[in-house]
Amino acid sequence: MRSEEELRRFFAGELRQHVEVWRHVRRIRPPGMVDVVAVLLAILTAGAMWQPAPLWLLAGYAVLRVMYDVRRVQGEFKREVLRRVFEFALPGVQYDPSAHIDPELVRKGGLFWESWNDDGGEDYVAGRMGSTEFWFSELVLAHEKKDDRTVLFHGLFFIADFNKAFRGRTYLLPDVAERNFGVLGRVAQALRLDGTELVELEDPDFEKRFVCTSTDPLEARYVLSTSLIQRILGIAERSPGPLRVSFVDQCMYLARPMGDLFRAPFLSGSLDEEALLGFVRELRSVIELVDELGLNTRIWSKAAPAQP
């Protein structure tokens, strides 16, 4: 990635005009015909009913309108400014603020046994760090039924080329059963219905946090070296929620709960050089997973490039 000095020169030079374009974006739009009609309808309805309830609906409409404007301005920041910052900071990177990881890839990763039927997200990034290709985004998975919506996951979904074509599928999922039910939970874990087997890895700290299953236990023990186990544990210990990892085909999949990935500003006064550097540091913190997991250490070979 570019150095901080190079980034500061870029901010002061080429990027400045794009920041100014964004600064002049209207924050709150003036009332339009739709707004006038909404106000008149609320007032007339309240007068006809002799009830203030329609006026409360008008207040709700105003809040939604402001929320829309906030999202519009933040989206413009990402398209006009942040995309250029990322493309300069890491040459060759692709950034699409309105896209997210394809749900079919999420299913392929197999990290969520819970049923979900709604997905969303933003801030899709694809690129290469050293010899390793990666893809990630903010991701939201939810289960909807009638008037109820339960969010199952909100966080970072990260895919990286592992430089090995796996024969089987290996999963590291939160060890909820044993933590809650002890020996009975361990027995339940061994009763697999998905074609995988429970894999013992002889690392007490790791097994307190994860349950490892695989369709090829021998390969799983080979891939999950002592070094990689410690690297994954280090990431899990810093994660604000349960970490999930899998090894499928030629890629490593990782899901880590977190809040918004790149929180864009709304007020122009809140954007300065340090704020821009902060976005680059956030990008770097995700991309550094490649080095932290040792994915650039090419100890295996494969015949074809990764396709997540």
pLDDT tens profile 104-160: 999 999 999 889 999 999 999 999 999 999 999 999 999 998 889 999 999 999 999
Cα separation of 67 and 83, whole Å? 23
The pLDDT, as a whole number, for residue 62 is: 79
The pLDDT, as a whole number, for residue 163 is: 84
Percent of the chain scoring above 70 in pLDDT? 86
Q: Phi, psi at residue 238, to the nearest 5°? A: -95, -5
Q: Answer yes or no: is pLDDT of 301 > 60.
A: no
Q: Where are the domains of the chain?
A: 4-89, 94-292
DSSP codes of every residue in 190-259? HS-SSS-EE---S-HHHHHHEEEEES-HHHHHHHS-HHHHHHHHHHHHH-SS--EEEEETTEEEEEEE-S
The pLDDT, as a whole number, for residue 14 is: 96
Instruction: Specify which residues 274 forms β-bridges with.
Output: none
Instruction: Pick the closest to residue 201 from 177, 184, 219 (CA basis).
Output: 219
Cα separation of 100 and 261, whole Å? 11
Q: Answer yes or no: is pLDDT of 49 > 90.
A: no
Higher pLDDT, 63 or 234: 234
Q: Answer yes or no: is pLDDT of 183 > 60.
A: no
Cα separation of 224 and 200, whole Å? 11
Integer distance in angstroms from the first to the last C-alpha of the chain? 23
Instruction: Specify which residues 118 forms β-bridges with.
Output: 142
pLDDT tens profile 58-114: 777 778 888 999 999 999 999 999 999 999 999 999 999 999 999 999 999 999 988
The pLDDT, as a whole number, for residue 302 is: 57
